[in-house]
Amino acid sequence: MAGSSPRSLRSSADRHHSYNQSVIYCVIPPELEDELFDKMVEYYKDNPNVTVIIDRRTGPDRRAGRKVTDAEKEQRQIRDRRRARIPGTFPDTDDPSGSL
**41-76 pLDDT, tens per residue?**
999 999 999 999 999 988 877 766 777 778 777 776
Please report which confidence band the pLDDT of residue 28 belongs to, taking 50, 70 and 90 as the band edges.
Answer: very high
Q: Which residues pair with 53 in a beta bridge?
A: 27
Q: What is the 3-state secondary structure (H, E, C) of 16-67?
A: CCCCCCCCEEEEECHHHHHHHHHHHHHHCCCCCCEEEEECCCCCCCCCCCCC
In the chain, pLDDT over 70 holds for what percent of residues?
71
pTM of the model: 0.44
Q: With 0-12 CB in 10 A as exposed, 13-18 as middle and 19+ as buried, what is 91? A: exposed
The candidate with the shortest Cα–Cα distance to 33, out of 14, 64, 10, is: 10
